[in-house]
Amino acid sequence: MATSAPELLPYAKIREDLFRPLSNGSARYWITIAAAMSVIVLGLVAWGIQVRDGMGVTGLNRPVFWGFYIVDFVFWIGISHAGTLISAILRLTDAAWRKPVTRAAEAITVFCLMIGGMFPIIHLGRSWLFYWLIPYPNPRLLWPNFRSPLLWDLVAILTYVTGSVIYLYLPLIPDMAQLAQHNVPWRRKLYRILSLGWTGSDREWHALERAMKLMACIILAVAISVHTVVSWDFAMSIAPMWHSTIFGPYFVVGAIFSGIAALLLVMGTLRRALGLELYLTKHHFNNLSKLLLLMSLLWFYFTFAEYQTVWYGNEPSEMAVFASKIRGPYAPFFWTMVFCNFVVPFILLGIRKLRTITTAMVASVCVLIGMWLERYLIVAPTLGNPRMTSASGVYLPTWIEFAITAATFAGMLVLYLLFSKLFPIIAVWEFKAHPVEED
Amino acid sequence: MEHRWGMSIDLDRCTGCEACVVACHAENNLPVSSPEQAEKGRTAHWIRVDRYYEGEFPDVRVKYRPVLCQQCDNAPCEPVCPTYATYHNTEGLNVQVYNRCVGTFYCANNCPYTVRFFNWFAPEWPEPLQLQHNPDVSIRPAGVMEKCTFCVQRIQRGKRDAATENRPLADGEIQPACVQSCPADAMAFGDLNDPESKVSKLAGSGRSTLLMGELGTKPKVFYLERAK
């Protein structure tokens, strides 16, 4: 399948190609950053209004107390699984084709967690008091409630952020050392500090290799537990169609699914924007597309199992939620979700002739839309149809929620653009022969 | 536990007049929602009267059910709060500590009775309603959750008065605003620990039912209805 393997290129050329994007910033680059920054400013204004006036500026109401913010939270934490899962699995199984993919994936993880982690704070009625969830010593000897799934969330996500930053940083060290002779003084200083005095001795290589293997194992377990805990925010409640034992694995599968889609999208964009056609080849897209197809099938299986059992059980309060999704006010979203998450990837990636880089990108965009809708369909219909039918309600978001959501997408873009300007987006040293640790 | 507060509501007596709703508003300093906010589902009524219709027109029967916080002994709202803003006190009340609430909404999402209310904005009262605030009840700021307290301020005052006069609390001495205002005498309030109290007897009667008792929340509001 591979037309050319980047591993076979001369190392001097690889270095030249992959370090080049660090030096020249085109006008297009800065215009994109400026445009994204203006979206971010709009989102900050929206958040400011929300903090000043109260949560009433959003579309939240009784009984729909959770809305876009929780959807965005689950969505971003889900995408963050791109990095860890792809990179850790491929590193542990020693898949050679992973080399140009891992860093792009690991960076997605860190940035998505930074963005997703903000939403639990944004959605608070009194967000300036968010630190009351942290167990810190205080004069009143008050502890947070460790029985609350929200506290499990806090612990899980902080662990995950810490782990994934380390996991991104470790494979950066040898590249930092290579860049320590950079000709821009402040960059030289930055890279030198970040290289931690790396000299490339045998001992250092072995230590690094072992550290990366260990982190890959740890981060895999953390990643799976994090999204399970996120699902428990819902599953631990007694609300109809939230209280489901399947939610843990269902959310993990959904997270990996959307994570791969995000990775494909980022890779396709980088390939075009930075001219990395030699490094991110059809081979990589083909492999990841197959993985996306597999996750699409798994997602469909879980969704089917979940809805089938609710439908057959025919319990009134559950059926009210079910009906509102299948044929009620949420039906257009539901069927769009099925189309985006299953039909499109199944056709575009399942038929070999149709599976190209372009169709992989199209399928990825569809999957991201579909997975956002999936989270929306978990949050809103359940809350809108509580057990007390007299209290049912409809959720109509306002511009505040749209602005804040848009700002986080822009924020992701800016973070990624800045990262790709400061650090090589493909691990350069991986292409060079270096001492390898035996298992 | 010296006291265990409970309430009974006789559905066969309730006329749906909503006097309890008005009394609760006045007693507990509940904000008045504008029509626009009410349309969005942002009203705050710690007690509401649900209407149920039976039969086909013109042979229709209307049934009313006042719904307030059921003060569950096994309350789904309590364990999910990360800051202990909602907890169980020693008299079985499900208490909301406004100062501890950061507004995660989780308690409201996990309440099967949907009887928790959020302060979407800073509370407002049209003139001259702000002049009749009850000094015994705090005004809640924007961003916190609130709900029926069984008029905890009246419970405290009743206990204090009895202690000052060095006598035991009499049954029926403490009445939440809704119970006090019910013209049909459909509601009773008292100590479930006292087997002779009116509410204990009614709760033990054959007409006593629980709202969604099958969920295992162990409510302390007992609805009395004629057995079918």
The answer to whether the CB atoms of A56 and B110 lie below 8 A apart is no
In which residue are the tokens 């008091």 written? A129
Residues of B with CB under 8 A from a CB of A: 37, 40-43, 48, 50-51, 67, 76, 79-84, 100-106, 108-110, 112-114, 116-122, 141-145, 212, 215
B80/A150 Cβ within 8 A: yes
Q: CB B79 to CB A132 under 8 A?
A: no
Q: Which residue has the higher pLDDT, A3 or A124?
A: A124
Q: With bands split at pLDDT 50, 70 and 90, how would you rate the model's confidence at A26?
A: confident
Of A64, A127, A238, the CB nearest to B110: A238
pLDDT at B57: 87
Using pLDDT thresholds of 50, 70 and 90, give the confidence band for residue A1.
Answer: very low
pLDDT at A280: 84
Burial of A433 (0-12, 13-18, 19+ CB in 10 A): exposed
> With the C-alpha atoms ordered B199, B205, B211, B217, is the resulting torsion angle positive or negative?
positive
Q: Which band of pLDDT confidence, cut at 50, 70 and 90, is reported for residue A23?
A: confident
Taking the model in full, what pTM does it have?
0.93
The answer to whether A98 and A90 are in contact (CB under 8 A) is: yes
Domain covering A29-124+145-431, topology:
Formate dehydrogenase/DMSO reductase fold (1.20.1630)
Cα–Cα dist A115/A290, whole Å: 28
Selecting from A59, A144, A387 the residue whose C-beta is nearest the C-beta of B112 gives A387
Q: How many helices and strands in chain A, by DSSP H and E?
A: 18, 0
- Within 8 A of A158 by CB-CB distance, chain B residues are none
Residue ranges covered by each domain of chain A: 29-124+145-431
How much is the mean pLDDT over chain A? Answer: 89
B225: left (phi over 0), alpha (psi -120 to 50) or beta: beta
Looking at residue A49, its pLDDT comes to 96
Residue of chain B whose Cα is closest to the Cα of A63: B114
**Inter-chain contact B103–A124, Cβ cutoff 8 Å?**
yes
Distance in Å, alpha carbon of A378 to nearest chain B alpha carbon: 13
Residue A307 host element (H or E): helix A282-313
Report CA-CA distances (Å) from A338 to A74, A75, A345, B183. Answer: 18, 17, 10, 55
Q: Where are the alpha helices (DSSP H) in A68-172?
A: 68-79, 81, 88-92, 102-116, 119-122, 149-169
Q: Report the candidate in A89, A91, A104, A179 with the shortest Cα–Cα distance to residue A427.
A: A104
Both structure tokens of A329: 């006010």
Q: What is the pLDDT of residue A25?
A: 72
Which of A64, A127, A238 faces B215 most closely, judged by CB atoms?
A238
The three-point CA angle A325-A327-A332 to 5° equals: 70
Phi, psi angles (nearest 5°) of residue A136: -120, 155
CB contact under 8 A, A393 and B41: yes
Chain B CB contacts of A69 under 8 Å are none
Q: How far is A218 from B207, CA to CA, in rounded Å?
A: 58
Task: Determine the residue among A62, A389, A392 to mutate to test chain B binding: the one whose Cβ has the most chain B Cβ atoms within 10 Å.
Answer: A62
Domains of chain B, CATH where assigned:
5-224 (3.30.70.20)
Per-residue pLDDT of chain B (228 residues; tens, 9 = 90+): 689 999 999 999 999 999 999 999 999 999 988 899 998 889 899 999 999 998 888 899 889 999 999 999 999 999 999 999 999 999 999 999 999 999 999 999 999 999 999 999 999 898 898 899 999 999 999 999 999 999 999 999 999 999 999 999 999 999 999 999 999 999 999 999 999 999 999 999 999 999 999 999 999 999 999 876
Looking at per-residue pLDDT, the higher value among A283 and A331 belongs to A331
Question: Roughly how many angstroms between the first and final C-alpha of chain A, as a whole number?
Answer: 29
A269-304 pLDDT per residue, tens: 888 888 888 888 888 899 889 999 999 999 999 999
pLDDT at A2 over 60: no
ipTM of this complex prediction, to 2 decimal places: 0.92
CA dist list (Å): A161 to A156, A203, A352: 9, 28, 37
Res A439: pLDDT? 53
pLDDT at residue number A434: 65
Q: Are A191 and A176 in contact (CB under 8 A)?
A: yes
How far apart (Å, rounded) are the C-alpha atoms in residues A253 and A298? 7
pLDDT band of A4, cuts 50, 70, 90: low
